[in-house]
Amino acid sequence: MNLARVDEIAKAVLYEGYMLYPYRPSSLKNRQRWNFGVVYPQAYSEAQGGEEACSMQTECLVSGNGGTILEVKVRFLHLQMRTVRSPAEVRTGALPDGWQEAVEREVSVPDLTLESLRQKTVRHAFGFPAQTQAHSERDGMVERRQEEVEGTVNVSAERLSQDLFRVSIPVKNVSLMAVPAANRDEALMQCLVSTHTILGVKGGEFVSLLEPPSESQDLASRCRNVGAWPVLVGEQGQRDTLLASPIILYDYPQIAPESAGDLFDGTEIDEILALRIMSLTDEEKREIRQSEDRARQILDRTEAMPAEQFMKLHGAVRGLRPLKEDAS
């Protein structure tokens, strides 16, 4: 599995929406985060009439044999609530109660052969317990609380021809909720946020679902992906790693080389976000610096960006392709 390349792309996917402008409590427009790849608890999904998904599914094609080994990792953000416990901090105008932060989570399924997956679906359960931590920060005592999150990852394979398999990986949130009809903010505390699946193969290759070979086009079109967009990741031509992203990407996505650092921007809008950050007032910047390390690092790096580096973000041409001649 090409983890070096997939990690930098996955980071952009993981925080797309979570960090977008960045969000802050005093902003009317950006007070509520817009999250991608949210997998809600089943009870909450049912209480909402199924409008909020409690599962996502990845299906892809693998060229190989029964001994081909499949690697599966599921990553998501587990939200935590930041609560102020010091009256002094409230008086200084720091972040209010109820500010959501996030912790990265990873679930690894034991390596499996395609033949074993063809014979029996593997169900991998995972869970992260509720916990509360309190410690002193710059402005006083702060408490961070997480609710319990539980889920399942099922992995199965179907042989389509002598050397071609379809792999199916549904991910489901089975967290128990005290109040299934809770509001969205409460439900998010037990959600899998920015959920994505990373797949690797040993002794085989993934087939591109975006540009499959002619003999596999029909089978590729039958792969059922729900809330997931599988693309090849790595150097051009490599087929050992697949990222099932909650946002639309092309095969072999890359972080722009002009980017000075993570803006968690889906790889394409560094300049817009840099301009947006530069336009913040001193009060807005103070809020961001008090929120969390990721936002503070983005702000500090953007403010320190030299003019020549900023200009590199403007108008970059990635490549040119000749126009196709009119067939008529």
Nearest to 153 by CA among 109, 204, 92, 200: 109
Query: In terms of pLDDT, which residue wins out, 154 or 10?
Result: 154
Chain segment 162-178, per-residue pLDDT in tens: 999 999 999 999 999 98
Number of Cβ atoms within 10 Å of the Cβ of 154: 17
Chain segment 199-258, per-residue pLDDT in tens: 999 999 999 999 999 999 999 999 999 999 999 998 899 999 999 999 888 999 876 655
Which residues have C-beta within 8 Å of that of residue 83, sequence separation ≥ 6?
A: 97, 98, 142, 143, 144, 145
> How far apart (Å, rounded) are the C-alpha atoms in residues 95 and 124?
38
Question: Considering the entire predicted model, what is its pTM?
Answer: 0.79
Beta strands in 4-163 (DSSP E): 55-63, 69-84, 99-113, 122-128, 131-137, 140-146, 149-161
Chain segment 121-155, per-residue pLDDT in tens: 999 999 999 999 887 776 577 888 899 999 999 99
> How far apart (Å, rounded) are the C-alpha atoms in residues 261 and 65?
41
Are 69 and 111 a contacting pair, CB within 8 Å? Answer: yes
**88: its two tokens:** 């002094």
Query: In terms of pLDDT, which residue wins out, 85 or 224?
Result: 224
The label of the residue with tokens 């199924």 reads 50
